[in-house]
Structure formats: C-alpha cells, structure tokens
Chain A
Amino acid sequence: MSTDNGGSSESDPSESFVQGTDDDEPRISFYGGRGMSAFPIAFFIVWAIVQTAFWRISDEGGLVVGILLGLIFGMFFVRGDWKTYANTIFEGMTQPVAVTAIVAWIWAGMFAQLLQDGGFVDGLVWLADAGGIGAALFPAVTFVLSALFTTGIGTGYGSAIAFVTLFFPAGLLLGANPVLLFGAILSGSIFGDNLAPVSDTTIVSAVTQDSDIGGVVASRFKYVIVAAVVALAGYLVAGQFMGGLGIGGNARQILIAESEPIGLIHLLSMGVVIGTAVAGRHIVEAISWGIVVAAVSGLALGLLSLGDIVMFNAPTDAPLGESLEFLPILTVVEDPDAVGVGGSLINGAAGFFELAILVLLIIAAAQIMIRGGAFQAILDWSIDNLATNVRNAELTMVGSAALINAVITINTAAEVAIGPYISKIGERFNLNGYRRANILDGQTAALGYIFPWSGGVLAGYSAMQELPGEYDWFTADMLVTPIDVVPFVFQGWLLVAVFVIAALTGFGREYIIDRESEEVARV
C-alpha cells in the first residue's frame, strides 16, 4: 500500500480519491506518449489470451497475476512522480461500478448455489422424463430446459456442467446426436447468461452502462427471444436429420435416478427474483427474497437441510464443539484439513471472490488508461473512422464487444474491460443505457460459449471428460471435440446476428430522449 494514503501530515484524502476532473489534459504522463497508458490493460489482454486461449488454463487467479504485473510494469513508463499513478489505481478501484457488481455477484452466487443444491436440475430432469421425449426432440427440449435452468441460476458455466453431466448421457442413449446436444446445452447457457438478473454478465452490463438490472432484463427480452425462437426451430429441424450413435440401452434409467419433481419448486424462487427485479426493486432486495424463498421451500420440502445451507466443521479440540454438536449446523471433524465453514451460502459467495479481485484490478487499469489519455485516443480514432454515425456506432459496439469476448475466455473479465468504451461511444449518440447494456451483453454471452477456448465450452467439455469413468457404455470416442460444436451453438450465432440486424435496421433502438434507464441501484 502506498504510504501516501496513510496518515502523513501532507496527505490529503481528497487528493487520493478524486472523482472526476474537468480538465481535458491527461493527468499521468508516460514515456512513449499517451498510448503507453494502455500498457497495463494491453499486457493483461495478451496474458489472458496466452493463458486461456493458447494454454487452455481457465484460472481467474492467473488472470489476477496478469493484471497485477501489468500495473507494476506500467508504472516504470510513468514520467515524473509515480504517486499519481498509484493514486489512480485507488481511484479506479473505488468507482461504484466495481463495488456494485461485486455485491450483486456475491448475492447472486448464494442464490444460484441454493438452487443447485436444492435439486432444481432434478426437477427439470423429471420434466424431461415425464414428457417421454424421443431422440429427434431431445436436443430442442434440452435447449429449453437448459435455458430455463440458467435463467434461474445465472451461471452458464454451472449450467453447462450440470446439463452435460445429466442430460448428455441420457440423450446419447435415446439416440440424439451428441454434437447437436452439446450445442443445445451451450445455447441454453447463453440464453440464461444473457437474460437472468442474477447472471454476472447481466449485472456487469447494467452497472457499466448506468442502468437498473431489472430494466435491462426486461428490455433485452426482445433480442433474446427472437434468437431463441429461431434457435429452437433449428434444433427441432436438425434433430430430425442428424442421427445419433445407436448405442441402445436404457436412457430412462439415468433420468429416473436423478429425477425429483419437487425440485421444480425453484421455478418459484426464480420467478420471485425476476419479478421483483423487473418491478424495479433493488437487486440486493430481489435476490434476498429469492434466497429466502429457495431456503424456506427447500427446507420445508426436504430438498435441503440447514447443514446444507451453512455448516460449521469444528476441530476436536474446540471448547464448545462436541457439547453443541447436536446443532444441525455444527459437526466436529477429525481431519484438520476439513475444519472450516461450508454449505451453499459460503460456496456460492466464494465462487465470486477471485473474480471480484480481478474486476477491481481491471477497472483500476482502465482508469490508468483513461487518465493517461490512451482511452481518449482510441475513442477519438473510433469516432473519426468507425462510429461516424449512429448505425456505424452500434456496429462498432457490436464488433468490439464480440472481438474482445471471442479472444478472452472468461467473458465477465472481457465485458468489464470493454464496458467504458461501449459507454462512451453510445453516450455520444445518446443511446440509452438499456440499448448499450444489451449490445454489450449480447456479444458477451454469445461469444463466451462458442469457440473451443470459450469458458462455457471448456466447462462443459471438462464435465464430459468425466463421463467415460461414470458409465461403462460411454467410450472416449463419444466425446464431442469442442471445435465440432462451433456451428451448432445456434443461440450464440443468432444472438450476434440479431444485434447486427438490430444495428442496421434500428430494431429495439432507444435514445435517452425516448426513455431514460432508471438509475442503477448503487450500493
């Protein structure tokens, strides 16, 4: 930590955390010109591509090191006092955008985990089984159920894993085409990642474009549903023509083993969150209601125990451990490594801790780029050469968001990095916050699940690799190679197409004078 911020007599806190200035001059000067202020972000993007695309390491911790090193190396190019550079890092990290997103993620993470632990997917499995669906229809039905599930839990990665584990082997036995089936699962993940109010990318798209999350969800429905209707038709038609592997065997056995109709109660938990968020309640309030409904209904119906929600694992020498072990939330464990707090709430929240740190640092690096002038240089160049009118501006927004998401595996990180650019280009033409957020998140959700190095594909593929160990009949040649699925992620390709068409035709375009997005619920 910089000593400049702590207690010295000449230190002025207001100097360290300036929120905006009116001067046009860059505040930090770099050797090599203002373009060098993009060094930390550029270093991070190169690191992220090498780590996640070339080496297939989808580890947020590694990305944190990438951005930290970028920030450290960037400092060596600063002319004069490095204090301003250090202070700008703090200035970036204390922007409301970062904290709003982080708080919403942590709430969403707890909710998502409760739904997963509370048997939501088992309810959907029951629905698929009860419908008695055949091979040709199975991909289309999988798409719908995966979309529904992801809209409830918000995380497309989690949904891809759950559906590959349960629906993929059942579909194969039924005779559905494996590539089509994997594509349908990923398409459902895209649908929900894009539309769920508890999705990390939905939250980032709303807060970076200064809009309320509920309003963003309602306004993006039109793009998502147009793409989804065509995608569904695609899976119905392709399901008729693309044959399966002809394994034989009893698919119902797999489905019945994991089938639990009562899990469908979480449609209610999900409805509560979506309804309250779209009705304009603060996202923390909306998700809190969802958590309450999911926990109470899960406990009442026996889907969850108190210990599943929160469990204290105490060591044997804890003074009040054994005497209070009768409590449903306390266990005494022999293994010292098992000591800790577990359960849905902590597991759900903890899933976002690394991402939270990563996002704080990316926003800090973006602020360096803004203060150093590189951001303005890129913006000026874009305005002169690309975003010359509103149609081109929207196409530029679609293209830039698509490009960065196509190259960076973890789509939330890519979205945070491109957020300020989308905001400035859109504000110049007075496009309202909803339209900007929708353009940004459409590409983020879509491109995060298409390419072999995309996070969603990797998550699903890694779950698939476990299947040969799980089932005797499942052989390694039944695995879908990630490159093969690329053309069959219909929802992804269609969503990008919908936004290109929307930019060209003005479908769904809204200006600030048409409707102002409600203010994002700041925390």
Chain B
Amino acid sequence: MSLLGKYFKGWRFRDTTPSLEKGDVIEVFVAESNSATEGHVYVGDTHLIVEGAGPETVEKRVRVRVTEFDESSSTGRGEFLEVVGESSYTS
C-alpha cells in the first residue's frame, strides 16, 4: 500500500455485523470454547461456531474456513484449519 494510501485507509463507517461468505478462509481470534470440539468466534457481532476449535485454541489466532453463513442473523459455522498466531498477551 502506498504511503498516502495508509493514511486514507479506513475512512468509513464499518458495520457491527460484517458479512462473510461460504468458502472464505479467515484468520481470527477464538473467543471461547464450551466443548471439546467447538469454539466461538466473534467478528464484531457476527458469530461463528468453529468446529474443531477446542479449548486449546481460545485466545489464539486461527485460520478458519467458513462453511455456512446466514446473512440475516449474522451467524455461521466454520471449520478449524490451524493455529496461526498468539494473542498480544499470552496467559
């Protein structure tokens, strides 16, 4: 991105519920996990249930493939691919 481009990136009003599409591969933080096999990801108020993201992935950045997404309720499901990063502060 150009120098000027960096200054003018993000001059917009961003929705609280960003939409995703089936097949998207995204890198996101897992917020919580209340079972051994499912994790919860929030991108703003968009809620994604990620299969395969167990408690060991909580507060880690993971790569997820979106498998279902309902635009009207801003919810969906995804498939855990791999852990790609840590939180700024590791607990």
Interface, chain A (partner B; CB < 8 A): 19-22, 24, 95, 97, 208-210, 214-215, 218-219, 221-222, 275, 278-279, 370-371, 375-376, 389-391, 420, 423-424, 427-431, 433-434, 505-516
Q: Is the CB of B91 within 8 A of A430?
A: no
| B29 partner residues in chain A, CB cutoff 8 A | 427-428, 430, 512
Interface, chain B (partner A; CB < 8 A): 3, 6-7, 9-16, 18, 20, 26-29, 31, 41-45, 55-56, 59, 61, 86-91
Looking at chain B's contact residues, the main secondary structure is loop
CB-nearest residue of chain A relative to B14? A509
CB distance from B53 to the nearest CB of A (A): 14
**Distance between Cα atoms of A512 and B9 in the complex (Å):** 14
Given A430-B41, A506-B14, A511-B18, are A424 and B27 neighbors across the interface (CB < 8 Å)? no
| B18 partner residues in chain A, CB cutoff 8 A | 511, 513-514
Within 8 Å by CB of B6, from A215, A370, A429, A516, lies: A215
Q: Is the CB of A209 within 8 A of B88?
A: yes
| B44 partner residues in chain A, CB cutoff 8 A | 390, 429-431, 509, 511
Known A19-B90, A222-B10, A390-B16; further 7 A-B contacts with Cβ < 8 A: A218-B9, A429-B45, A430-B29, A431-B44, A507-B12, A508-B10, A512-B27
Q: Is the CB of A370 within 8 A of B89?
A: yes
Q: Is the CB of A510 within 8 A of B10?
A: yes
Given A279-B3, A391-B16, are A427 and B11 neighbors across the interface (CB < 8 Å)? no
**Distance between Cα atoms of A278 and B2 in the complex (Å):** 9
| A505 partner residues in chain B, CB cutoff 8 A | 13
Q: Is the CB of B59 within 8 A of A424?
A: yes
| B12 partner residues in chain A, CB cutoff 8 A | 507-508
| A214 partner residues in chain B, CB cutoff 8 A | 6
CB-nearest residue of chain A relative to B26? A513
Q: Is the CB of A424 within 8 A of B10?
A: no
**Distance between Cα atoms of A430 and B42 in the complex (Å):** 7
**Residue of A24, A275, A433 ringed by the most chain B CB atoms within 10 A:** A24
Given A218-B9, A390-B42, A511-B44, are A20 and B28 neighbors across the interface (CB < 8 Å)? no
| A511 partner residues in chain B, CB cutoff 8 A | 14, 18, 43-44
CB-nearest residue of chain B relative to A431? B44
| B3 partner residues in chain A, CB cutoff 8 A | 218, 275, 278-279
Given A215-B6, A430-B43, A506-B14, are A22 and B26 neighbors across the interface (CB < 8 Å)? no
Q: Is the CB of B11 within 8 A of A423?
A: no
| B86 partner residues in chain A, CB cutoff 8 A | 20
3 smallest CB-CB distances across A and B, nearest first, come from A20-B90, A218-B6, A509-B14
Q: Is the CB of A513 within 8 A of B28?
A: yes
| B43 partner residues in chain A, CB cutoff 8 A | 429-430, 511-513
**Distance between Cα atoms of A396 and B42 in the complex (Å):** 17
Q: Is the CB of B55 within 8 A of A24?
A: yes
CB distance from A128 to the nearest CB of B (A): 27
**Residue of A209, A389, A430, A431 ringed by the most chain B CB atoms within 10 A:** A430
| A19 partner residues in chain B, CB cutoff 8 A | 90
Q: Is the CB of A218 within 8 A of B7?
A: yes
8 A-B contacts (beta carbon < 8 Å): A215-B6, A278-B3, A278-B7, A424-B59, A506-B16, A508-B12, A509-B44, A515-B9
CB distance from A415 to the nearest CB of B (A): 14
Within 8 Å by CB of A375, from B7, B56, B61, B91, lies: B91
Q: Is the CB of A219 within 8 A of B16?
A: no
Q: Is the CB of B6 within 8 A of A278?
A: yes
**Distance between Cα atoms of A516 and B3 in the complex (Å):** 17
**Residue of A275, A371, A427 ringed by the most chain B CB atoms within 10 A:** A427
